[in-house]
Chain A
């Protein structure tokens, strides 16, 4: 595993978004949050003080900055003691993090960014959020919310209805 450098500078990991914007996070944070970083950093033998750079060139700056923000917060929370209060505060923070200003497009971009570096914590959070949006809704409502077209054939629709006769579809 990574040994602390003898110099005073902490090593960073940089994510590069569309438009060449850079977002940095300490290596320790990246190791905790991202599976890809863990695997990559494990594999590289000599780094010296070089920063590892990850290119996410097809993702906008905003989701990438949110991703870095999330990773930093999770790493900080992991070090503090676990308690009911801490869990409650974490839930509240997550609510604010994915608040009303996060529209679906941003949500999907955030998910793509999280998948690119395999940030399991954020993937889980966003998946739960999207699932919550469609929980208990009828198929038509789901189509409206998710912006999808109905492309089922009548045969397929009938099949679904008979297979699940106990729900009114």
Chain B
């Protein structure tokens, strides 16, 4: 490498060399405080740091590597025997069953594994045998690959073996676990289980489970009757239909619930026996203990809604909801202002309000919100077409607003944004599909919101001039995520202005913009920060269906440009050979050519919500999966 830095003319004394100043055990301790990527970069600095880093790997308490999917060969040397390892988080997209030994480690308390498609049910069995101290387990898409097996016996083993589990999240299809004993096996689950998340479970299986639990409770034999879910407080799941019977069963079987999150996506129009009605809604919070309720009917397969619930049901429910802190109602198309106002006025501790497809929601809901003591922090009003600027002005008296999602509220315009532009804590603002013009961005530019994420997807009235207006003020210091997709009049000039503004963006989406072309890529690639490193702090760039991009742009994605890029979206039909060459030269870049949404923090477009925001307590560290401040380089 290069010789030591030349001596500067006037300078403070050079720092004492750390490798001589401190004993190697201390250096290793210092390195063990770093994230994995920083640790490996440090190991390349000198011999001393290299051996200390290698030592540090054997006593790291936490190994978190979610931003890249390593192969087993690359992962193995990074994970030597480490009895101090308590927390492990990995992206397993490139791991198969041979790697299970690396994943199931004795002594683990917390395990989060993403994209376990190529791992079979053996993972669950290994965890039950090796990781009996596990407190928190989160797995998604296990054994999705066609040839891999996972069945009821694996679930049985997991529940029986991990008897200290407090939080279990299995984001998979539970129909794989169908078995006559499915209900009974849950009595052997950890008694301390307080949070359970299930990806999808057929209603019949769920009802069987709840019936078994209820019967067991009512049984006269208190000593021998198996106990089900004694400590369960949080339940999150998707079913095929949310029905009155389901709500009733949940309320009876799980009396200590504080968080209930149910979602359904009907493929057939629900009949009156298999739907949620006012009567069912009354059962939902019988003891008034719930702090978080979420009921969503997704329109993914069928254009339907909770047709049998109207204001009366909401009114009766809200009578018992004085402890409610967060409510989410999706697909309640018959509920009007009366119902929504009832919630706002009964739930004095409400912090998070989300309504989707509120076709009857108008400004009246927020008319006297200033007179309440409500302190809303997260508000999402999606597809509420009757909501106008006046309503938002009233809403903006909640000065603690942190996240505001107003997507597809077609009647909102510039005046609404003006009201929002002085909110001192607003970090995330989504205005997709609203009727704003450049004027709105002028307000934002002049305003004082410390915006981190701004989405203007589909705001068709915007032109290139909106960019200098937006970046004229303090937004430059805070903005990291920007979505300018589907804005037809946006051209390369706008992107060049963004590049020149030197805002260190981490995510930029420019999908389906016909006039964006190679010049934009060049401009973004040549951004420089702090002199030394080339280009872009960009970690995500989505250029799907930008008609102006030609194969010539591909050379700008090779090293050393875009050193931190993790996600790239292009149109697949663009020179296949060059795309393949790029994929080979940057094997750890997620490339999407088919139009899928990129990134892990993207607002889930299928269910139109992002769930479990109760977990990210600051709401803001909304990149839930990667270590912050890591350099991502390929």
Write the residues of chain A forming the contact surface with B, with a CB cutoff of 8 angstroms. Answer: 103-105, 108, 111-112, 115, 123, 127-128, 130-131, 134-140, 142-152, 156-157, 160-161, 163-169
Contacts and interface: CB of A to CB of B under 8 A. Distances in A.
A100 to B, nearest CB: 12
Contact of B16 (A108, A123, A149): A108
B425 interface: no
Given A146-B18, A150-B1, A139 B588 contact: no
B30 A167 contact: no
Contacts of B559: 168
Given A131-B30, A163-B77, A165-B74, A108 B21 contact: yes
Given A104-B15, A138-B631, A149-B4, A168 B45 contact: no
A133 to B, nearest CB: 10
B42 A144 contact: no
Contacts of B198: none
Given A148-B45, A152-B44, A157-B1, A136 B15 contact: no
A165 B585 CA distance: 11
B10 interface: no
Contacts of A149: 4, 17, 46
A149 B43 CA distance: 13
Contact of A139 (B42, B68, B563, B634): B42
Interface string B33-73: 11101101111111111100000000000000000101000
Question: 7 closest A-B pairs (Cβ-Cβ)?
Answer: A131-B33, A168-B633, A147-B15, A139-B44, A104-B15, A146-B18, A108-B21
Contacts of A115: 26
A135 B33 CA distance: 9
B46 A152 contact: yes
Contacts of A105: 13, 15-16, 21
Contacts of B40: 164, 167, 169
Interface string B492-524: 000000000000000000000000000000000
A167 B22 contact: no
Q: Which of B19, B30, B31 has the most CB of A within 10 A?
A: B30
A111 B26 contact: yes
B629 interface: yes
Contact of B47 (A108, A131, A136, A151): A151
15 contacts: A103-B12, A112-B22, A127-B29, A127-B30, A127-B33, A131-B33, A135-B629, A137-B41, A137-B631, A146-B18, A146-B45, A147-B15, A152-B44, A156-B50, A168-B559
B2 interface: yes
Interface in B188-228: none
A156 B49 CA distance: 13
Interface of B: 1-2, 4-5, 12-19, 21-22, 26, 29-31, 33-35, 37-38, 40-50, 68, 70, 74, 77, 533, 559, 563, 587-588, 629-631, 633-634
B74 A148 contact: no
Nearest to A135: B38
B1 A163 contact: no
- Looking at chain A's contact residues, the main secondary structure is helix
A147 B14 contact: yes
Q: Which of B1, B45, B533, B587 has the most CB of A within 10 A?
A: B45
Contacts of B48: 148
B588 A143 contact: no
Nearest to A105: B16
A165 B13 CA distance: 36
A150 B26 contact: no
A131 B34 contact: yes
A108 B631 contact: no
A134 B19 CA distance: 14
B34 A135 contact: yes
Contacts of A167: 37, 40-41, 633
Contacts of B45: 139, 142-143, 146, 148, 150
Contacts of A104: 15-16, 18
Given A105-B16, A169-B41, A130 B631 contact: no
Nearest to B530: A141
Nearest to A153: B47
Contact of B634 (A103, A140, A145, A166): A166
Contacts of A147: 14-18
Nearest to A112: B22
Contacts of B26: 111, 115, 127
B631 A136 contact: yes
Most buried by A among B17, B21, B35, B50: B21
Nearest to B632: A167
A168 B562 CA distance: 12
Nearest to A159: B50
Contacts of B34: 131, 134-135
B44 A146 contact: no
Contact of B46 (A108, A127, A134, A148): A148
B35 A160 contact: no
A128 B74 contact: no
A63 to B, nearest CB: 12
Contacts of B16: 104-105, 108, 147
Contacts of B629: 135-136
B73 to A, nearest CB: 9
A164 B633 CA distance: 11
Contacts of B18: 104, 108, 130, 146-148
B366 to A, nearest CB: 30
A16 to B, nearest CB: 22
A167 B633 CA distance: 5
Contacts of A151: 46-47
A116 to B, nearest CB: 12
A159 B534 CA distance: 25
A157 B17 contact: no
Contact of A160 (B13, B44, B68, B634): B44
A146 to B, nearest CB: 4
Contacts of B1: 139-140, 150, 152, 157
Contacts of A157: 1, 44
Contacts of A127: 26, 29-30, 33
